A and B are shown apart, each in its own frame.
Chain A
Amino acid sequence: MSSFLAALLTYPFLSMALLAGGLSAIAGGIIGAYVVTKRIAFISGSISHSVLAGVGLSIFLARCYNITILSPLMGALIVGILSAFLAGWIYLSCRERQDSALAAIWSVGMALGILFLAKSPGFSVELSNFLIGNILWVQRSDLALLALLDGIILITVFFLHQRFAAICFDETQATLQGIRVKSLYFLLLTLIAITTVILMQVVGIILVLTALTLPSATAGLFTKTLSGMMWLGVLIGLACMFFGLFLAYTWNFPVGATIALTAGCAYGIALGMKSKRIGKRGI
């Protein structure tokens, strides 16, 4: 551990990676609580995987036409928000067979991304980085964008938390109370898209769902309020980021996968502790 702490102080890329991990844990812990309690992990999965289309388009435009205005992060953000609106529209208007339509967003988005990357000249090292994540590549500009997105999430949730909680728990009641359920739902999905882009930097597109849901699901086992679930989820996320980075540094493992595995282990241990506690009470 001491060598890892020394390395954090010595190598700027490592401290920047930890900072990026911390910023993503904040977003993941807060938005993940809504994803877990509203049980929309599949919708979130389709949004998160479709962002590959944006990443692919950005690289394709840069390499084929020298258009660099659209960075991979911005491309992912735009496609993520578009997918969020599409997924929201599917959820609200076609109650039947919506899983098939969401699967279509999931797979078509990924297919478009792979197609763009295949048609981009040169070696596509970015593909694996975006798919499985490489937090060690984070630049200062990325950190600034991650901090901005975190700020947007925190401010939005501060003002709208009670309304978001209401639509997560009981849409019918929220409608009767005059809450604009559809608008809020689209906004929530947009925040999920933003969080996805933040987390993509750390764990990659394939593992985004893990980082989005597991810290919150773990926290949910020990808290009785949604806000408690959020803050504990953030703390668990921060711990997973730190230990994941430490383990990856120590054993030379891929960082994103190690962080996701750490989150998985934390969830497994928490489930075990919870069931033991329930067993002791004899329930």
Chain B
Amino acid sequence: MNPSIDVKNVTFGYRERDPVIIDASFQIMPSQLVAIIGPNGGGKTTLLKLLMGFLEPWQGTISIFRKRPTRYPNGIAYVPQMTSFDRQFPMTVFDLVLTGRLFNLPWWGQYRKQDREKAMSALEEVHLEEFAKKPFSSLSGGQLQRALIARALVSEPKIILLDEPLAHLDATAENELVELLGHIRKKKTILMVTHNIQSILSSVEHILCVQGRVDVMTKEQICEHFALGLYHYPLIDAPHEHRLAEGEKK
């Protein structure tokens, strides 16, 4: 089976001689749910931008279903952080979801009937159909995340990238969202930046630990890290097996 995402020896930085991502290599297979963790400024969002094709690696290659991600639409949908856009923007929940069909907008600039139907189906999939005509500014944090996921789904992507979807959510909304993601992963590959790995741990296959370097870990390895109190520190400069051994000695 071909990987959904294939990253080979990718190095990237915003300033010369100051790389943010260093020699990253990993593969993600279809229908996998992968979490991305790491400290602030560690390169998580940069990694997402590289995968979306917004940034060009200094060296190495990125393939999304064997193609470079710089041609749009590229089969990727992005669910941004809630703080990254204007929550007072005058738009109904339905119109927000409909923007996921922009790629299919005809030259005369009005959405087709089938696009509207798909937007409504996506809203039903995330259980927000009764909010369709409400302004999206009236949604709670959890509802807004689900609306953004509906927008991602309606663009019929193969891969969904989520940037801290669990931030600012209460326990109930968090559980609902994790359940929803578990349902979606049957059809899509999901990559999710999070600081709240405990909530998602049972659902993920792998965890990408990003701190300059990108280490791929299983959830068992991550659990060991947490148990040893080595959340971010050990990712800095040593292979994780070595770091675990060091931790055990201590």
Contact = CB atoms under 8 A, between A and B. Distances in A.
Interface residues of A, number: 28
Nearest to A181: B72
A123 interface: no
Interface in A134-190: 158-163, 165-166, 168-170, 172-179
B62 to A, nearest CB: 15
A174 B80 CA distance: 12
Interface residues of B, number: 33
A241 B216 CA distance: 64
A33 to B, nearest CB: 8
A163 B99 CA distance: 9
Interface of B is mostly: loop
A168 B95 contact: no
Contacts of B84: 172
Contacts of B103: 177-179
A161 B110 CA distance: 9
Interface stretch (B86-94, B196-204, B238-246): B86-94
Given A39-B86, A166-B102, A169-B85, A178 B72 contact: yes
A222 to B, nearest CB: 10
A145 B96 CA distance: 36
A220 interface: yes
A170 B80 contact: yes
Contacts of B111: 162
A162 B102 contact: yes
The listed residue with most A CB atoms (<10 A of its CB), out of B72, B80, B90, B95, is B90
A223 B110 CA distance: 21
A169 B86 contact: yes
Nearest to B93: A224
Nearest to A157: B109
A173 B85 CA distance: 11
A169 B91 contact: yes
A166 B72 CA distance: 15
Contacts of B52: 172, 176
Contact of A162 (B74, B77, B105, B134): B105
Interface of A is mostly: helix
A166 B89 CA distance: 11
Contacts of A179: 102-103
Contact of B90 (A174, A176, A223): A223
A172 B78 contact: yes
Given A173-B151, A175-B54, A224 B90 contact: yes
B32 interface: no
A220 B102 CA distance: 24
19 contacts: A37-B90, A39-B86, A165-B91, A169-B89, A170-B80, A172-B84, A174-B99, A175-B54, A175-B72, A176-B52, A176-B73, A176-B78, A177-B100, A178-B72, A178-B102, A179-B103, A226-B90, A226-B91, A229-B90
Given A169-B89, A169-B96, 14 more contacts: A39-B86, A159-B107, A162-B109, A165-B95, A168-B89, A170-B85, A173-B99, A173-B100, A176-B73, A178-B72, A178-B102, A220-B90, A224-B134, A225-B92
Interface of A: 37, 39, 158-163, 165-166, 168-170, 172-179, 220, 223-226, 228-229
Instruction: List 8 A-B pairs, minimum CB-CB distance, nearest first.
Output: A224-B135, A177-B102, A178-B72, A177-B103, A159-B109, A178-B73, A178-B103, A229-B90
